[in-house]
């Protein structure tokens, strides 16, 4: 499904599945247009493809979160993470704030909201979640990331992983203590070094990229990317978003389905143009 002409226009689809092992879905995905729409967050029992016509003069925001099942309340934590972050991003970008700072504030707000909910008895006492968010504004893509959900980008046939997993096994790989082959089945594979709701303070990765027409982004939970290859992702992102989501989730289920699997695909039709930065003395008053 595609949007009408606008400064920013994208094709979008999202799909989440419980899988073959889990009793309920602890993944959440959501989106909002910066300039007006009520943020959309998938309900707990969602399992079909959601499609939306998205266009905006100001920006669009997308988020995926994966609740940690080991502490209880993972489904509550992931829902809070998506809802809280989308709401703050939408409000602050409308107010004219700088997107990188807004993204850090959004992750902090999600962290606080999960901790507050845990203290009030909603969900588990130690409930936590991952959170990966993508904000596209005219000419730019901005990312915020905590945990081991992922954001990929396909541009002109080339696939790039734009996030780094915050996991113990990734730290072992970074320090060259283990190999890529050993990482596949390593017992620390699912142990996170950062999460939203795990501590009073949370450190997020923030990244800024140029936005090009034709860029395709995949936001996904570890239940999806751990069961597909980079080649699978690149091939799927060549398809329309709904077909890409279906193909990737189906592959994850066919190859085990031992966790919730979530895919959100955004293809940029019109990227808009980044506003020119003020020059000279005008920079002091912008």
Domain ranges across the chain: 8-162+196-272
Sheet order of strands, 205-210 included: 40-41, 27-33, 60-66, 131-137, 140-146, 205-210
Average pLDDT taken over every residue of the chain: 86
Over residues 211-230, the pLDDT tens digits come to 999 999 999 999 999 899 99
Among the listed ranges 15-29, 40-54, 74-88, 188-202, which one has the minimum average pLDDT value? Answer: 40-54
Q: What is the pTM of this model?
A: 0.89
For position 5, what pLDDT does the model report?
42
Question: If you classify domain 8-162+196-272 with CATH, what class do you get?
Answer: alpha beta
For position 38, what pLDDT does the model report?
74
Among the listed ranges 16-30, 99-113, 142-156, 205-219, which one has the minimum average pLDDT value? Answer: 16-30
CA distance linking residue 254 with residue 57, whole number of Å:
40
**Burial class, 223, CB count within 10 angstroms (exposed 0-12 / middle 13-18 / buried 19+):** buried
């Amino acid at each position: 499904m595609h949007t009408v002409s606008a400064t920013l226009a994208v094709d979008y689809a999202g799909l989440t599945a419980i899988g073959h092992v889990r009793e309920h879905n602890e993944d959440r995905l959501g989106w909002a247009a910066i300039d007006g729409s009520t943020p959309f967050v998938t309900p707990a029992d969602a399992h079909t493809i959601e499609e939306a016509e998205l266009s905006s003069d100001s920006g669009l925001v997308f988020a995926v979160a994966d609740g940690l099942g080991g502490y209880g309340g993972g489904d509550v934590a992931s829902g809070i993470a998506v809802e809280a972050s989308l709401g703050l991003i939408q409000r602050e970008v409308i107010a004219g704030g700088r997107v990188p700072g807004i993204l850090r504030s959004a992750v902090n707000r999600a962290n606080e909201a999960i901790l507050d909910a845990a203290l009030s008895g909603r969900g588990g006492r130690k409930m936590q979640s991952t959170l990966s968010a993508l904000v596209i504004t005219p000419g730019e893509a901005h990312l915020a990331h905590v945990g081991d959900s992922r954001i990929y980008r396909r541009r002109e046939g080339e696939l790039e992983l734009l996030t780094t997993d915050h996991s113990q096994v990734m730290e072992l790989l970074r320090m060259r203590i283990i190999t890529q082959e050993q990482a596949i089945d390593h017992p620390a594979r699912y142990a996170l070094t950062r999460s939203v709701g795990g501590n009073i303070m949370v450190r997020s990765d923030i990244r800024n990229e140029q936005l090009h027409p034709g860029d395709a982004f995949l936001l996904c939970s570890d239940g999806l990317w751990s069961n597909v290859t980079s080649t699978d992702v690149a091939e799927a992102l060549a398809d329309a978003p709904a077909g890409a989501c279906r193909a990737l989730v189906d592959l994850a289920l066919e190859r085990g389905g031992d966790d919730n699997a979530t895919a959100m695909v955004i293809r940029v039709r019109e990227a808009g143009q980044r506003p020119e930065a003020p020059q000279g003395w005008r920079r002091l008053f912008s």
